[in-house]
A and B are shown apart, each in its own frame.
Chain A
Amino acid sequence: MQITVDAWDPSFADNPESPSRSDRAVVRADIELEPADWRPVDAPAAGPRRIAVVDGVRRIDARVELLDDTPEHRGERWPGVCVSWAAGAVVCDLDGRSSSGAEAAVVDFAVERGLFAAVDPGADFGRYPYRKVESADPGELIAGAQTAMAELEAKVASTCAADAELSVLDGPLRGRTRLPHSVGYIKSHHRSYLQGELNAVVERLAPGQRTPVFHLMSGWPRYTWYLRLPGTSSRGWAGVARLEAADDLTEEAAIALADATAAALPPLGSAAHKDARAPQNLTPIAGLERRLKRMLGDPRLLLRSVRAASQG
């Protein structure tokens, strides 16, 4: 099989958005407060002191084109992507159980790579083992990589979650609902799940306040709530993050988790001058992402190795 490596920088045309599902959100708002009573909820005075934050990063190292030269498929071209992804966990120990005082330590991390394509190139791609994707659509290839990263995140999260009082997993909680004390953390809002008056409560949140917990059935069932992090402005949706908790929790447990996040996360919010995605991109996540990106390795070096492998 003949393999061509795209000469362009692979990061162009990288579309991280997975196809949005357009089914209508089913919201049950009476979990914590009756919809008529909805108001911003203040954070409790004390929250968890040992917080695990799990995040992953992903990078497309090379785009390749596989040219099938077997007699029955001669001339068929298949796109593929070489992707590196990493996941890690930071445990923020605010009280300092360790000897050196308060410490945020990367307790676990893993780096994986793969070549996502619909057909097996049959050649050894060095660091990139072949992973089969059903469709040859470029979006599906990326989605396959995203899934692989989510799996790795779940694996990393499972090793550290038991140790922490609260685990914050970056992104939706889908598929990772079995971890104790864990919440999904969503930084950006593509859709608004609440309607009318309830939505206005979100805009009225003061920094550190959250909305009451509500139940969301959109794609898959989960508890969710909005939380405003302290930042430059407290108007509109600035600084608002959405959190998710597993559907199989009791309502009380979900509310307790919501309280825990309202107490724990505002101090972790990043500062606008240090992070373009402040304050939602939490300080430990930003540090972890920098660390993980470094562990992905030098992209130019990896691209070179891919080129070398494709010619060999």
Chain B
Amino acid sequence: MSESVGRVLGTEDATPLSFWVGVGPEAYAQLDDVLTTERQVPGVGAVRISGVVTAVRSRHEGAQFDSDVFDIAGGLLPAQVQEAAEVTVTRVEPEVFVPPRPGAEVQRASGEDRDRALYFDGMARQVPLGFSRDGQPVFLNPDFLDGTRGAHVSISGISGVATKTSFATWLLYSLLHSGALGAEAANTKALIFNVKGEDLLLLDHDNTKIDEAVRDTYRRLGMEPGAFKSVEVLAPPREGDANGIPDVACRSTGVDAFYWTLAEFCQLNLLPFVFADGDDDRQQYTMVVHQVAARLRKEARPKDNGAVAVDGRLLTSYRDLVDLVCERLSDDETRTEWAGSAIGLGTVNAFIRRLIASGRDIGRLIRGDLPPKGAVLSSEAQVTVVDLHNLPDRAQRFVVGVVLRSEFERKEKAGTARPLQFVVLDELNKYAPREGTSPIKDILLDIAERGRSLGVILIGAQQTASEVERRIASNSAIRVVGRLDAAEATRPEYGFLTQAQRMRVLMAKPGTMFVAQPELPVPLVVNFPFPAWATRPAEAGSAPAATARSVTARVDPFDLAEDEDDIPF
């Protein structure tokens, strides 16, 4: 039998969308509790109205003046303490939108009633999100995540306390380990860009700091606590290192360096991504960028170790390439060939200035002295973490842009949405700002609008959703909000939050998220469990055995021969 909480108030309007409940003397109602009531409708029968508590209040009845509280507390004035709770209706069943009757008994929904109120009963598959305030599990409908009925996640919150990346990784973990994706989970891939610190580089290490209570929360949500099983970390090569050793401090195994050869740079037309700043796009020299890129593609002849020869000159580093381009553009004879006709000298010089400046940032990523790696993303690991935190801003944009484009093109060519590819990208307001255009923003828009059918799912995080391109935010089926800045919380981008929730996000604690999903009219408040994987080296347990392979058997000794026909004996 459900526990009675109180009765529908008659002194406040009860509507089919929200109503107030007078809380009984022996009961309580807290925010986020799920309550349910029933009324009889002539000709229809019983209509069950369920909802989530979005506000609670208590007051002295019988007090007229503020100072009466002292008389009441001093035992002089009789008064009654009365609590009331506002319920925002989530579900009316059957869908006859009638208000509950004042005086009707209101119960705390539990078990099936709660599932029904929160639409969990209609979810054929459930992704655990964590626990609500009352300690009951909260689920997400993966139909809105995997592209069946919707896709993409938008996570907002101020940095530090909003735990955006923790939630994003938790969501991935839950998705991959809860069984919601079924057998498909094994082939599902995730690409995570690590932009701050080395937080995400230890996803495959067990967290030694969590206790049995945390482990138990994972089991209660139907999954085993642990680290991600298959992780590959890609890091940029160390600055000034000729061998391309990955620039990572916290781990030595399971790490690989990522870079592009000069040949790839020219063939794949990567130059525009060097100028992927929103600021760059407003300048005249974008014309020059595309002209030079086209010229490089046409002229560059690939040589050994990714080097290229342009006009008979061997280029083995990005700086060589920069020098050559500058030379050609400075020379009056070749300028029109490289920059195109009718380009002012000022514009060309602006381009040269920026190109030279980019040498410092991008030099270590574009190599002519290392063997080509093929696709940057190895297709073996389930989770690929691309570490950007050591890179300057221009290089970060370059990597994000190039990696996203190659992934998107790969999925586009594959022609099938499955297996899914998740992309976790923080600081979306930097890569897809509301104002201006850039090559990265174009790709992100493409992902937001077409990714659902192509199987590329964006899990974007940002401090301020108001500064992210509107079409990306509006294409996100699932919106998640952690702690927000007070001014940010009032912006229309957070209109899905209830009035009380807008106040609550200002003081949301780390680990608390407001999750809006399309089926539910009210965002649910979720406490997600502490990560079971290490988020800093001090927490990390031993490295998983699988990553040791990267040291010993990165190159298969039997795989030396280029083509199998060529047997030497």
Q: A101-B73, A283-B71 are in contact. Are A274 and B78 (CB under 8 A)?
A: no
Closest to A291 in B: B62
CB-nearest residue of chain B relative to A286?
B77
Q: Chain B residues near A90 (CB, 8 Å)?
A: 78
Q: Please report which residues of chain B, range 34-93, place their CB below 8 angstroms from some CB of chain A when the two chains form the complex.
A: 62, 64-65, 67-68, 71-80
On whether the beta carbons of A268 and B76 are closer than 8 Å, the reply is yes
Q: How far is the CA of A101 from the CA of B75 in the complex (A)?
A: 8
Question: B77–A284 contact, CB under 8 A?
Answer: yes
Are A287 and B62 in contact, with the CB atoms below 8 A? yes
Query: What is the 8 Å Cβ interface bit string for chain A, positions 100-144, against chain B (1 contact, 0 not)?
Result: 011111100000000000000000000000000000000000000
Pick the contact of A104 from B64, B65, B67, B77 — CB < 8 Å?
B77
- Contact digits for A63-99, partner B, Cβ 8 Å, 1 yes 0 no: 0000000000000000000000000001011101000
Chain A residue total in the interface (Cβ 8 A): 22
Contact B75 A94 (CB under 8 A): yes
Instruction: Say yes or no: A93-B75 contact (C-beta < 8 A), given A274-B64, A287-B62.
Output: yes
Interface-central residue, A287, A290, A291, by most chain B CB under 10 Å = A287
Q: Cβ of A283 and Cβ of B76 under 8 Å apart?
A: yes
- A130 to B62 Cα, complex, angstroms: 32
Q: Which residues of B contact A286 (CB under 8 A)?
A: 77
How far apart are B81's CB and chain A's nearest CB, in angstroms?
A: 9
What mask results when residues 260 to 276 of chain A are scored 1 for a CB within 8 Å of chain B, else 0?
00000001100100100
Bound state CA distance, A274 and B70, in angstroms?
Answer: 13
Partner of A92, one of B62, B64, B67, B75: B75
A88 and B73 alpha carbons, distance in the complex (Å) = 20
Q: Is the CB of A287 within 8 A of B75?
A: no
| A179 CA to B10 CA, complexed, in Å | 40
Which residue, A93, A101, A283, has most C-beta atoms of chain B within 10 A? A283
Q: Does A288 contact B (CB under 8 A)?
A: yes
B62 touches A102 (CB 8 A): no
Chain A, 266-309, contact with B by CB distance < 8 Å: what is the 0/1 string? Answer: 01100100100000000110111011000000000000000000
Chain B residues lying within 8 Å of A290, measured Cβ to Cβ, are: 62, 64
Q: Please, which residues of chain A bring their CB within 8 A of the CB of B72?
A: 104
Complex Cα spacing A286 to B80, Å: 14
A102 touches B73 (CB 8 A): yes
The complex places the Cα of A105 from the Cα of B75 at a distance, in Å, of 8
Question: Considering only CB atoms and an 8 Å cut-off, how many residues of chain B contact the other chain?
Answer: 15
Q: Are B78 and A105 in contact (CB under 8 A)?
A: yes
CB of B421, distance to nearest CB on chain A (Å): 60
Report yes or no: B76 in contact with A284, Cβ–Cβ below 8 A: yes
Residue of A nearest to B71 (CB): A283
Contact A287 B74 (CB under 8 A): no
List which A189-223 residues lie within 8 A (CB) of chain B.
none
Contact B74 A102 (CB under 8 A): yes
* Bound CA span A274–B68, Å: 9
A45 to chain B, nearest CB (A): 19
**Would you call B75 and A103 a contact (CB within 8 A)?**
yes
Give the complex CA separation of A92 and B73 in angstroms.
11
- Closest B residue to A282 by beta carbon equals B76
- Taking a contact as CB atoms under 8 Å apart, the answer to whether A287 and B77 are in contact is yes
Which chain B positions have C-beta within 8 A of A106? 78, 80
Residues of chain A lying within 8 A (CB to CB) of residue B78 = 90, 104-106, 284, 287-288, 291
Q: How far is the CB of A137 from chain B (nearest CB, A)?
A: 37
By a CB distance below 8 angstroms, the chain A residues around B68 are 274
Q: Which residues of B are found within 8 Å of A287, using beta-carbon distances?
A: 62, 71, 77-79
Distance A93 CA – B71 CA, assembled complex (angstroms)? 12
B62, B67, B78, most chain A CB atoms within 10 A: B78
Q: How far is the CB of B389 from chain A (nearest CB, A)?
A: 55
CA–CA, A268 and B78, complex, Å: 12
User: Which A30-80 residues have a C-beta within 8 angstroms of B?
Assistant: none
Q: Mark B234-252, 1 if CB is under 8 A from A, else 0.
A: 0000000000000000000
Give CA–CA (A283, B62) in the complex, Å: 12
A90, A105, A271, A286: residue with the most chain B Cβ atoms closer than 10 Å: A286
Q: B80 to chain A: which residues have CB within 8 Å?
A: 106
Chain B contacts of A283 at CB under 8 A? 71, 76-77
Query: What A residues does B62 contact at CB under 8 A?
Result: 287, 290-291
Q: How distant is the Cα of A237 from the Cα of B9 in the complex, in angstroms? A: 46
The reply to whether B65 and A92 form a contact with Cβ atoms under 8 Å apart is no
Q: CB-defined interface of A135-157 with B at 8 Å, one 1/0 digit per residue?
A: 00000000000000000000000
Q: Report A40 CB to chain B, min CB distance, Å.
A: 25
Looking at the assembled complex, report how far the CB atom of A277 sits from the nearest CB atom of chain B, in whole angstroms. 14
Chain A nearest Cβ from B70, distance in angstroms: 10
The residue on B at minimum CB distance from A274 is: B65
Determine how close the nearest CB of chain B comes to the CB of A269; give it in whole angstroms.
10
Residues 510-566 (chain B) with a chain A CB within 8 angstroms: none
Q: How far is the CA of A274 from the CA of B69 in the complex (A)?
A: 13
How far, in whole Å, are A291 and B64 apart by their CA atoms in the complex? Answer: 12
For B67, B68, B77, the residue with the greatest tally of chain A CB atoms inside 10 Å of its CB is B77
Q: Which residues of B contact A (CB under 8 A)?
A: 62, 64-65, 67-68, 71-80
- Chain A residues with a Cβ under 8 A of chain B: 90, 92-94, 96, 101-106, 267-268, 271, 274, 283-284, 286-288, 290-291
Q: Please list 9 pairs of residues, one from A and one from B, whose beta carbons are closer than 8 Å in the complex, sorted by A's number.
A: A93-B75, A101-B73, A102-B73, A103-B75, A104-B75, A283-B76, A284-B76, A287-B77, A290-B64
- Given A103-B75, A104-B75, A283-B77, 19 other A-B residues pairs in contact with their CB atoms under 8 A: A92-B75, A93-B75, A94-B74, A94-B75, A101-B73, A101-B75, A102-B74, A104-B71, A104-B76, A104-B78, A105-B78, A268-B76, A274-B67, A274-B68, A286-B77, A287-B71, A287-B79, A291-B62, A291-B78
Instruction: Give the 9 A-B residue pairs with the shortest CB-CB distance, closest first.
Output: A102-B75, A287-B77, A104-B78, A90-B78, A287-B78, A283-B76, A94-B75, A106-B78, A92-B75
